[in-house]
Amino acid sequence: MLTYNVRGENIEVTEAIRSYVEKRISKLNKYFTDATQAIAHVNLKVYSNKNAKVEVTIPMPYLTLRAEETSPDLYASIDLVTDKLERQIRKFKTKINRKSREKGFPEFAEADTATTDEAKPGEASTDLSVVRTKRVSLKPMDSQEAILQMDMLGHNFFIFEDAETNGTSIVYKRRDGRYGLIETNE
């Protein structure tokens, strides 16, 4: 069962907007069991060029669902984000079903990844100070699950504990669109 945390930046979240967000995102409840308690963090932003950006994050013990969409219409952005989240859930469910048929139902766990602020292309950065620190708890999974989690979060890399070797590994998206894997020596 989802609960909602709706915030607005440069926009007042009216009762009509809140009810529309809850109505659209509650469509995802059919994918959760009654025992599942999750909070949908919804952030609505309106820019000076009248574009509306909607970000939705749903952290759960086994997965973090995240989607964002920008369009000239706030309600259209909400619809598009809901569709993206539904596709992510279906993709993850398919993956779980395939894994459970192959080798029993594994435990899936959420793992956050660290993000950094990057310099703009062509801009030389001489400032080597840390601007953000993020702590992660590494959960055992295989590289395929790590890639799926990385894609769902929209990140370029993902740190995880390899379930087979118990070592720390990193998957990343290469410039050619394929994926790379970095394994540590212990």
Q: Are residues 94 and 11 in the same domain?
A: yes
Q: For a pLDDT cut of 70, what percent of the chain falls above it? A: 81
Distance separating alpha carbons of residues 62 and 148, to the nearest angstrom: 12
**pTM of the entire structure?**
0.55
**Using only C-alpha atoms, what is the Rg of the chain?**
18
Q: Which residue has the tokens 């959420």?
A: 110
Distance (Å, whole) CA 5 – CA 42: 6
Band the pLDDT of 125: cuts 50, 70, 90.
Answer: very low
State the angle between helix axes of 143-153 and 74-103 in degrees (0 to 180), rounded to the nearest 10. Answer: 170
Percent of the chain whose predicted confidence (pLDDT) is above 90? 17
In a shared domain, residues 41 and 7 = yes
- Which residue, among 81, 56, 45, has the nearest Cα to 4 in the 3D structure? 56
Residue 141 pLDDT greater than 80, yes or no: yes
Task: Please state, in angstroms and rounded to a whole number, the distance separating the CA atoms of residues 128 and 122.
Answer: 17
* Residue 115 and residue 23 share a domain: no
Q: What domain range is 130 assigned to?
A: 111-186
